[in-house]
Structure 1
Amino acid sequence: MTTAARIDESLRIILKHQAASGAYIASPHFRPYQYAWLRDGTFTAYAMNRAGQHDSARRFYRWCDSVIRKYADKARAAIAAVQAGRSTGGNEQFLHTRYTVDGDEVAGEWGSFQLDGYGTWLWGLAEHVRLSSDYGLVQELRPSIDLTLDYLRTCWQLSNYDCWEEVGDRQHPATMAAIFGGVTAIAGHVPQRAAELTFLGSSIRRFVIESGTADGKFVKSLGNPAVDASLLWIAVPFGLVGADDPLMARTVAAIERELLAGRGVHRYATDTYYGGGQWPLLSAWLGWYHVRTGRRAEAEDIFRWIEEQWLPAGLPEQVQEHLLAPDAYGYWVAKEGTPAVPLLWSHAMYVVLAAELGLLAPARSEGQHKD
């Protein structure tokens, strides 16, 4: 299959598994992922914007709006509780991270209190407008934008689960970068709040640089100096620091030293989920960073490696050519089945890296919004 055919297949898989509501199903055949996440979905929508599929992205952001409107009273209650010093309700006090495609909360135990998705959807909405000229959508979704901003302004320093649905009792620099990216990206579309959001962004950046670093690099979580591949987000795409910033350069060097096996990137060194395999979407992220820092040849090598991981059903969540904890793989297979495939987020990041490498056809990458 050629690269062009794989890009087309990625877009087809994403569109096939976008619900009528606009939600993207994370992975249609893997039971725990038959839901929609604001974070994963936003990066999928961003890939669709990069490919000129603006209607698909618009439908997703309208779904985000519907979720926030549905749980607006819960968000307001959480804001009031935090402001009153009563933020002890755990997952159920705060907005969830995953929903059904109809926008309902998912029952059952899960690391649901995460803030990264709420920052990410604001960043993605701003990118949608930039790439599609869909300016009217911001005004249409303005009540949800404002409520999300109020929620993030109030909660950003709270301990919450990281992007892997783990470690719920810490603060995470990658999460804070997503919040920073969201509030600063959307600020230009809500001029009445621009000064407030500029101050909030500066406060988040200062906190992360002062408290979220150790030994000259960013850390996985405050109190845990390990490296995590999600730290790539701090520079690309959220821009809390530049890609060439010394803190970021040392962080990426640690990711390459500790988490890169061949061209496949692990999440973090002690990962045991499905044996701790390599994640194509994280490899694509490293390639994205490399393009932005002039290391194109390495990005192209990563892109080819991702293509080599293609299975008949599409790109998986992770591959097993280099497991960090091989004894744990069988446990997860017995519990949930084989790793998720296709994972829409993997296909999305493949498309993003293709766009960064200039491999999208002009008709895809330059499509414009039409009502």
Structure 2
Amino acid sequence: MTLVSHSLDLIRRLQAPTGAYPASPTFSAYRGYSWLRDGAFIAEGVSRHGDASGADAFHAWCARVVGDRAGQVDALVSRAARGETVSPAEMLPTRFTLEGADGTEEWWDFQLDGYGTWLWALLEHARRHGRTVAGTDKGVRAAARYLTAFWHLPCYDWWEEHLDRRHVATLGSVHAGLRAAIGLGVLSRPETEAAEGAVAGIAALVAAEGVTRPVDGRPHLTKWLGTDAVDASLLACVTPFGLYGADDPVGAGTVAEVERRLARDGGVYRYLDDTFYGGGRWVLLAGFLGWNHARAGRSGEARRYLRWMEAQATPAGDLPEQVSDLLLDPGRRQEWLDRWGPVATPLLWSHGMYLILADELEVGA
């Protein structure tokens, strides 16, 4: 069985009856939960390989989960409009149980990127298969109102860190999500106008504070506003989110700078100060870098990252979250093993990203 076939089979088998994709079936901290971010990329992967019904079910689950919280969104938006402070603990969560409930364990929950990423993936899926996913309008409108009202606030990043920062990858996710919500054609006129204003505001803010322009190098996006550090999540701001195009100097510079600083022997680190499980190279990030290369016409480079991803599979064909052979901070690995056990394997997001890159390179089952 090819890794494409195994990935599709694994994701189908593990998808919950509700439509949710579990992040990992065995990893102690992820088991029983679905993230909008992870699931959106998983759904994009299976949608590209013909599993339209599986992606439909995931998107319908997301719409129910978000739509069920429309009243909470409206209350939060009303409070903010009155000038009240809304605490991070009151915001919508970033992960849900497979049944769609809030989690019971404490988590780093206030993350906006997942809501934007879901909207982006829903539109991609609908356009690819030439149909809408039934019953998603309420959830789309609630997500758009939520993002429109709160996009400017600091929140946790993709890696559930740095609550006090405004992260460029998050802003890119929201920018793409609001554009997608508009494109889905279900927003009211006031909602559309507010979303358009937020899209313009995000673009202006990132251009002003989220791009570094070194004298002796290319301009590139930064990890958060006001730094010159990079993070591999920035790759998504180019492909697929299009905050900057691959042919734009900032977009091209971002991909080049992430590769220069964070890629090593086919794998990609999250960021240079990473200590999670010692700071290994992430399989899904190799997928993002390969995706960017493929879209820019560098198919040879893209295939190199695809081959590295394939080489990380276990004998059973399962892809891990990260690999531990070339760690940034090996002295920090044991504390995570003691806390949560071995690295998440399989991680369904890794398989989803493999499917996306395989499709970009026309590698089928």
TM-score bucket (shorter structure): over 0.9
Contact kept in structure 1, 2:144 and 2:181, CA below 8 Å: no
Contact 1:274-1:328 at 8 Å conserved across structures: yes
The superposition leaves residues 248-293 of structure 1 with CA deviations (integer Å, 9 ceiling, x where unpaired) of 2222222112111110000000000001000010001100000111
Output the amino acid matched with 1:318: Q
Secondary structure, aligned partner of 2:239: coil
- Which amino acid letter does the alignment assign opposite residue 151 of structure 1? Y
SS in 2 for 1:33: coil
Of 36-45 and 104-113, the range deviating more from structure 2: 104-113
AA in 2 matched with 1:77: A
Q: Which moved more, 1:63-72 or 1:323-332?
A: 63-72
Is 2:301 the partner of 1:304?
A: no
Contact 2:155 2:165 in 1 (8 A): yes
1:134 to 131, 136, 140: 131
Q: Does the 8 Å CA contact 2:115/2:174 hold for their aligned counterparts?
A: yes
> 1:180 aligns to what?
175
- Aligned pair 1:72/2:70, yes or no? yes
CA distance in 1, matches of 2:85, 2:238: 30
Q: Following the alignment from structure 1 to structure 2, what is the Cα–Cα distance between the partners of residues 103 and 264?
A: 34
1:272 alignment partner in structure 2: 275
TM-score normalised by the chain length of structure 1: 0.92
Identity, % of aligned positions: 43
Query: CA deviation digits over 1:331-363, x for unaligned, max 9?
Result: 1111111100000000000000000001126xx
Aligned partner of 2:328 in structure 1 is 324
Residue 97 (structure 1) aligns with: 94
* Superposed displacement of residue 199, structure 1: 3.5
Q: In the alignment, which residue of structure 2 is the partner of 1:369?
A: none
Name the CA distance, whole Å, in 1 between partners of 2:118 and 2:80.
22
Alignment correspondent of 2:3:
6
The 1:297/1:136 distance shift into structure 2, 3 A limit, reads closer
Query: 1:83 maps to which residue?
Result: 81
Contact kept, 8 Å, 1:11 with 1:48, in 2: the verdict is yes
Whole-angstrom CA distance in 1 between matches of 2:202 and 2:69: 26
Q: Is the 2:151–2:198 contact (alpha carbons within 8 Å) kept by the matching residues of 1?
A: no
The counterpart of 1:170, out of the listed 160, 165, 173, is 165
Q: Structure 1 residues 136, 12: CA separation in 2 closer, same or farther (over 3 Å shift)?
A: closer
3-state SS of the aligned residue for 1:36? strand
Corresponding position: 1:349 with 2:353: yes
Q: Aligned partners of 2:206 and 2:240: how far apart in 1?
A: 16
Distance 1:136 1:21 in 2: 15
String of CA shifts for 1:102-127, please: whole Å, max 9, x gaps: 01111232210000011111111101
Instruction: Report what 2:216 is aligned to.
Output: none
Structure 1 residues 35-44 or 243-252, which shifts more? 243-252
Q: What is the identity, as a one-letter code, of the residue corresponding to 2:136?
A: L
For residue 20 of structure 1, the aligned residue among 10, 17, 25 is 17
Q: Which amino acid aligns with 2:319?
A: L
Partner of 2:151: 156
Cα distance in structure 1, aligned partners of 2:272 and 2:200 = 31
Deviation at 1:134, TM superposition (A): 2.0
Point out where structure 1 has 5 or more consecutive residues left out of the alignment: 362-371
Tell me how many residue pairs correspond in the alignment.
355
Asked if the contact 1:218–1:251 (Cα under 8 Å) also holds between the matched residues in 2, the reply is: yes
Q: Match for 2:319 among 295, 315, 318?
A: 315
Residue pair 2:26, 2:345 contacting (<8 A) in 1 also: yes
Structure 1 residue 87 displacement after superposition: 2.8
In 2, the alpha carbon distance for the partners of 1:162 and 1:303 equals 26
Counterpart amino acid of 2:205? F
CA distance in 2 between counterparts of 1:328 and 1:136 reads 44
Contact 1:78 1:87 in 2 (8 A): no
The amino acid that maps onto 1:46 is E
> Conserved in 2, the CA contact under 8 Å of 1:265 and 1:279?
yes
Structure 2: segments with no counterpart, 5+ residues: 214-218
CA distance in 1, matches of 2:296, 2:320: 27
Contact 1:22 1:62 in 2 (8 A): yes
Let me know the Cα RMSD of the aligned residues: 1.4
| Shift in Å, 1:196 | 4.4
2:63–2:137 Cα contact (<8 Å) kept: no
Alpha-carbon offset, residue 136 of structure 1:
5.4
